[in-house]
Structure 1
Amino acid sequence: MIIDKVVTHIDSLSEEERKSRHIEKVFLQSDDLVKRIQRVVTDHGKELGISLAHAKELVHGDVLYMDDHSLIVIHVLPDELLVIYPRTIKEMGEVAHSLGNRHLPAQFEGEKMLVQYDYLVEELLQKDGIPCSREKMAVRKAFRHVDHRH
């Protein structure tokens, strides 16, 4: 089966719509969310080709296929992350500046800042007394490196 577009997102379906269908999952690393063309296998062994017609990043919960009986849904595997808990806006600015100098992409969830794990960044944050923890968790979207020139 070739998938050329995302049907919907699992969160936009009612609980009844989800419960009435068999759900298969496609497990992806966060890096794979940006790939427009790839071959994947569901947790039930069904092979799929993903060939998205339009450049769209996949996100956790995207529904690739849906009929009256089943759904095929993207499920992002956990990454090793550094979760940073800045206490003030000044501290957030200093952390963001430091990470920007390293060209390290970040994501934000509420008051938390998420970056892919890097032991040097962890050491820097600990040295500066910035609260952080190393956690294994799934991100909803891929970390994007910004294209830039100095």
Structure 2
Amino acid sequence: MIRATSIIRREAVDQDRIVDVITLDHGDRHRRRILLNADGGTAFLLDLDKADVLEDGDAVLLDSGWLVEVKAAPERLVEIRTDDSLDLLTLAWHIGNRHVPAEITREAIYIGYDHVLVDMLVGLGARVEIVERPFRPVRGAYHHHEHGGHHHGHGHG
């Protein structure tokens, strides 16, 4: 079985070494070990030392030296907008208080579809629309790459 044991981040991917592409939703892009079949038929075992997030445009390095590029699959999301940036920040706080993964842009917030959250957001004055697009949520504050990040000294109980 072909193994992939490391992630090459999008900015370091050598396009000439890509032999296949794998399209994964947000949940499937956060893995440590799983058997995967790329879109073109390449079967491989993703076997990382620790769980990590495969971002759109990253690649996994096969033990053959070739790369399989990662594409974020379109997903059913809730697009959240307001006319006022302070209102959007307040909605972001409410979403974060529920520990819901969120993608934050200057104009909108995107979350996975959940009718209970949609009702809450509409009740708080948000304009919501159901959209299909790749989901790229903000990584958690306690996630760090091998190249950086920090540790903190308090717990979350």
TM score, norm. by length of structure 1 = 0.75
Alignment check: 8 A CA contact 1:108 1:114 kept: yes
Q: Give a deviation string over 1:5-52, Cα, whole Å, max 9, x none.
A: 12342x555xxx64x666511122211222111110111212101111
Gaps (5+ residues) in structure 1?
none
Q: Secondary structure at the match of 2:119?
A: helix
Residues 25 and 141 (structure 1), Cα distance of their counterparts in 2 relative to 1, 3 Å cut? farther
* Partners of 1:142 and 1:40 in 2: CA distance: 24
Alignment check: 8 A CA contact 1:58 1:141 kept: no
| 2:30 counterpart of 1:29 | no
Aligned to 2:5: 4
Aligned to 2:43: 47
Give the partner amino acid of 1:5. S
Alignment check: 8 A CA contact 1:8 1:62 kept: yes
Aligned to 2:98: 102
Equivalent of 1:79 in 67, 75, 78: 75
| Cα RMSD, aligned residues only | 3.0
Gaps (5+ residues) in structure 2?
143-154
* Partners of 2:86 and 2:33 in 1: CA distance: 41
Aligned to 1:132: 128
Q: Secondary structure at the match of 2:6?
A: coil
Alignment check: 8 A CA contact 1:33 1:141 kept: no
Higher relative contact order (CA 8 A, sep 6+): 1
Aligned to 1:91: 87
Which deviates more from structure 2 when the two are superposed, residues 107-116 or residues 86-95?
86-95
What percent of counterpart residues are identical?
21
| Between structures 1 and 2, the one with greater strand share | 2
* Partners of 1:40 and 1:124 in 2: CA distance: 37
* Partners of 2:17 and 2:48 in 1: CA distance: 24
Give the partner amino acid of 2:83. R
Alignment check: 8 A CA contact 1:34 1:142 kept: no
* Partners of 2:51 and 2:5 in 1: CA distance: 11
Give the partner amino acid of 1:31. G
Aligned to 2:107: 111
